[in-house]
Structure 1
Amino acid sequence: MTPAYAVVVPTVGRPQLTALLASLREAGARGPAPAEVVVVDDRPFPGHGTNPPLDLGPAPVAGVRVVRTGGRGPAAARNAGRRSLRTEPEWVAFLDDDVVVPTGWARALAEDLRAAAPAVAGVQGRIVVPLPADRPPTDWERSTAGLESAAWATADMAYRRSALEAVHGFDERFPRAYREDADLALRVRRAGWELRRGTRHVHHPVRPAGDLASLRAQAGNADDALLRARYGRTWRRLTEAGRGRMPWHVATVAAALAAVGAAVAAPSLPLRHQDVARTAAVLAGATWAGLTVAFAGQRLAPGPWPGHPGGAAELRRMLVTSALIPFAAVAHRLRGTWRRRGGPDRVPAWPPPLRAVLFDRDGTLVRDVPYNGDPAAVEPLPGARAVLDALRADGLFVGVVSNQSGIGRGLLTRDQVDAVDARVAELLGPFDTWQRCPHAPQDACTCRKPEPGLVLRAAAVLGVTPAECAVVGDIGADVGAAVAAGARTVLVPTPVTRREEVVGAPAVATTLAEAVTLL
């Protein structure tokens, strides 16, 4: 019997997404189709207006759904995709939006999953990177081809849903498509599971990149600092990350700084020391030049040279970026080290402790009066004040995230809603943040629940991460907003809550007091 699986694809709107979805449709037609396909739109929310809809192509895989997460990175996007599944498949297959699956992929995936013993939490697919046949590959192409030997890369990685839930998914402190998959693999294995490589494969074309792509990629060194802080000096061995160039980059930057420092200091020194300083500047400068030329040579040797197509442009790119990369790498590593200073005590295990609880207003904190604009009609629900006061006493932030479409529909004014909110605060005590969506449903905004905008705004105002927040509400839109934002959530049903919303909620309580015990 073929295990049920779902597919989750985080995307930032790359045009390759349409090719992936079309290839998934073909693969599903020739093998076991996924129970669900969730595309997680992780494009940052604009300051005003809405993102244009994702281009899913003319004939994407059947039943595909889109969840928006607001640009928080692939780790958060994959978590949101997994948590928003409406079915309960045994496996979740993660694919990157720039891969293409061959027609036999679904059938080969099913074979990989059937062959996985109960102790196996994840099965990786083989990644094939097509390289040009008419010339040697460029530095960027070779970097992409490194995925072929990467351990547990989520370009094609299937995990048991139970294993993901046991370790709370990806660590959302990794903001880039870098190291988050290695960290998850390590935590899964430390939890007692095994990982295996399967027989299936995907194609990963080299996507276009600008001249400074390798320089921008150095931002990942800040994520290396997170791994160092979490797992100590042996983090590379533990995560199977391979050797890095950081010691050479540090030496290069140190030589450059020494050369500049000695040259600048020489004129202000006594005469008998000036020649020594100038000699030191020359030697340090020569060391910097030698290390930079050696680095450029290592990158140029296997690539195209002038005479090959694009060889002259590659030579220019390598000379420029080889001089700049050591400084960028060291700067990002220092930034990450400063942010994560203090080791594991300062960088707790994932997920972080709860710091804020955000409540829906109507039906959760106060009796639901449709489109209420009358402060006199505000009636707190039993126990609401006691629950809020207990949270405040525990040092947690409390806030409100509320859809108020009556404003957008023209049924209420902002002043009326302000007056009702003021009465709620008068009866239930002060709130640390109050976020509301004034838009009508047809406005297609990014803040109306189940969109995550209200939760993300509340977290930003409070100075916490979404993962440090919880959302308590009475309908599925509250749960959906929390899931998309990466917050914990508990549903407290009322007579208006639909049965499918209760079934689909990750946690359900009968009262507010019970809800906070489940956070």
Structure 2
Amino acid sequence: MAVLPTTVVVPTIGRPSLDVLLRSLRESAGPRPADVIVVDDSETRSGPAAARNRGWRRARTPWVSFLDDDVIAEPDWLARLAGDIAAAGPDVAGSQGHVTVPLPARRRPTDWERGTAGLQDARWITADMSYRRSALVAAGGFDERFPRAYREDADLALRVQDAGGRLVHGRRGVVHPVRPAGFWASVRAQAGNADDVLMRRLHGPDWRERAGAGPGRRRAHLATTAAAAGALALAATGQRRAAGAAAAGWLAATARFAGRRIAPGPGDPAELARMLLTSAVIPPAAAWHAAAGWLRHRGAGPWRGVPDLVLLDRDGTLIHDVPYNGDPERVEPLPGAADALDRLRAAGVRVGVVTNQSGIARGLLTEDDVERVGKRVEQLLGPFDVWRSCPHGPDDGCGCRKPAPGMVASACAELGVPPDRCVVIGDIGADVAAAEAAGATGVLVPGPQTRPEEVAAARHTAPDLGTAADALLGGAW
């Protein structure tokens, strides 16, 4: 059977709807995807952006197809996905499927159902969105500062388009049932106002128009909240007439807001009670979250995410430096190296080794010796996605021996990683210089062989490999 050049990534918190989605994928007609990765976020609750990043970084296919865990793939979804991918020209960075939200046939929809139905017209939502993996790499993936399933997909789409990628609509589709919601669901949804603030910080005041997000109601909610606060403040100072006027303004604005929400709805008593109560609470909730967003994101800059590839020097960085060692039994990992590598791999970061082995040129080692030592390193610390070893001496004039960029550039090319999405970690200045010469970022972890002037010259340093890995996972590179 034909295999699609895509990996399906589904973030989940363990909802029962996941089984329904996976069943619909199994039953969908068409070629099979190369892989399906389900990212369980039920324990860490790091958010869908972070969960999707962990998923796509493990993908090794040219495309990555994102689905939410509460959608159902249409019976021909895979066949149509194959057609959408085949039709995508080289300038196409992403393709969106259409979303259908089934609404009640015998009554008018509730406020929550109408809100869910708005997904049918939303742009670039990850309920059904496929991206070229290269576009995700270049953009750094989803911005994990968006903690909810809200705006993180629009932010990524704007960044991909700003980089010159074209986004198109495909022919495939999913069904998005309206999931149950509690009485105060519309109030809890006001947390998204903080994400709207981040969108403005990152993309400017016209972000709504570019993302097709609609005008929003934040200004109206702020005005309503100001009227309520003014009424309370005036009443507290004994200015009853002015307080009454402010209270009347608040009441009129709240009634108008509630009326707009009630009119298209079913009109049953439960919905009326929900609309009246939540319409009074939503404006101050929106104002609170907007203010929190302004404080939290006041210094927000462009998102880089974690690097796609981390290349590490071998001797003095991963293992104890035994000069010209050809004996696998003498290989001893440095403290914390295994944990640091495991954390990088868990985040979907690919790892590799770039090592100078001039002992071969000096006649002190053979290539077989270096290979056997490398296999022992793999046993203790592996697996690694790429290995590069330079057998030349300092005077051979090769382009691979660090500080030359050859090994770094070659490793990036093999894995299809742009050098500016790669970090090189080493214990001497030649490691950092090789990174910078290749267009990558160098991080110096000083050891016994490191000279003071190398530490002073390095732009990025860390006291140990574990600290360096944590910094990279936190976006500090």
Alignment partner of 1:8 is 2:5: no
**Distance in 2, Cα, partners of 1:155 & 1:187:** 19
For residue 515 of structure 1, report the CA deviation from its aligned partner: 6.6
Deviation string 1:155-201 (CA, Å, 9 cap, x unpaired) is 00011111111111111111110000000010011001111111111
Q: How many residues align?
A: 371
Picking from 293, 296, 300, the partner of 1:347 is: 300
Q: Deviations over 1:105-145 (max 9, x none)?
A: 00111111111121111111000001111211111111110
> Corresponding residue for 1:302?
264
TM-score w.r.t. length of structure 1: 0.66
1:317 equivalent to 2:274? Answer yes
Aligned-pair identity (%):
52
SS at match of 1:243: coil
**Aligned mates of 1:280, 1:232 — CA distance in 2:** 38
Correspondence list, 1:54-133, <5 A: 70-85=44-59, 88-133=60-105
Matched, 1:191 2:163: yes
1:124 is paired with a residue of what secondary structure? strand
**Is the Cα–Cα contact under 8 Å of residues 13 and 40 in structure 2 kept in the other structure?**
yes
Secondary structure of 2:173's aligned partner: strand
* Counterpart amino acid of residue 130 in structure 1: P
Task: Give the Å deviation of 1:365.
Answer: 4.5
Per the alignment, residue 178 of structure 1 pairs with 150
2:212 counterpart residue number: 240
Q: Relative to structure 1, is the Cα distance of residues 37 and 352 closer, same or farther in structure 2, using a 3 angstrom cutoff?
A: closer
Confirm or deny: 8 A CA contact 1:492 1:515 kept in the other structure. no
Contact 1:10 1:74 in 2 (8 A): yes
1:301 is matched by which residue type in structure 2? A
Cα pair distance change 1:278/1:160, threshold 3 Å:
same
The residue type paired with residue 502 of structure 1 is F
TM-score by length of 2: 0.71
Residue aligning to 1:331: 288
Letter in 2 for 1:74: P
Question: 2:232 is matched with which residue?
Answer: 260
Q: What does the per-residue CA deviation read over 1:177-236, in whole Å, with 9 as the maximum and x for residues that have no partner?
A: 000000001001100111111111100001111101111110011111111111222221
How does 1:461-500 map onto structure 2 within 5 Å? 471=340, 473=341, 477-483=342-348, 490-492=351-353, 494-496=374-376, 497=378
Q: What letter corresponds to residue 283 of structure 2 in structure 1?
A: P
Q: Which amino acid in 2 is paired with 1:320?
A: L
Q: Provide the rounded CA distance (Å) in 2 between the counterparts of 1:25 and 1:163.
A: 28
**Alpha carbons of 1:150 and 1:504: their partners in 2 closer, same or farther (altered >3 Å)?**
farther
Query: Amino acid of the residue matched to residue 41 of structure 2?
Result: D
How much does 1:3 deviate? 5.4
Query: C-alpha distance in 1, partners of 2:19/2:203?
Result: 38
Distance 1:118 1:365, change over 3 A: closer
Q: CA deviation at 1:351?
A: 1.1
Amino acid at match of 2:249: T
Structure 1: state its 5+ residue gaps: 45-69, 267-276, 306-310, 369-377, 385-398, 404-470
- 1:223 paired with 2:195, answer yes
| Deviation, structure 1 residue 313 | 1.2
Bigger shift: residues 509-518 or 128-137:
509-518
**2:41 matches 1:42:** yes
Aligned 1:379-390 pairs, distance under 5 A: none
| Alpha-carbon distance in 2 for matches of 1:131, 1:97 | 19
Give the Cα–Cα distance (whole angstroms) in 2 for the partners of residues 481 and 363 of structure 1. 24
Contact 2:101 2:116 in 1 (8 A): yes
C-alpha deviation, 1:361, in angstroms:
13
Contact 1:490 1:515 (8 Å CA) reproduced? no
Q: Counterpart of 2:18?
A: 17
- 1:288-340 deviations in whole A, cap 9, x for unaligned? 001101111111111111xxxxx211111111111000000010000000112
Supply the AA of the counterpart residue of 1:82. W
Equivalent residues of 1:95, 1:157 under 8 A apart: yes
Give the Cα separation in 1 of the matches to 2:8 and 2:350. Answer: 23
Cα distance in 2 for partners of 1:167, 1:489 equals 16
Q: Distance in 1 between matches of 2:337 and 2:254?
A: 53
| Cα distance in 2 for residues equivalent to 1:293 and 1:312 | 17
One-letter code of the match for 1:168? Answer: G
Q: Shift in Å at residue 245 of structure 1?
A: 0.4
Name the CA distance, whole Å, in 1 between partners of 2:315 and 2:22.
Answer: 39
Secondary structure at the counterpart of residue 33 of structure 2 = coil
* Alignment check: 8 A CA contact 1:123 1:157 kept: yes
Any conservation in 1 of the 2:313–2:431 contact (CA below 8 Å)? no
Q: What CA distance in whole angstroms lies between the structure 2 residues aligned with 1:489 and 1:105?
A: 31
| Amino acid aligned to 1:11 | T
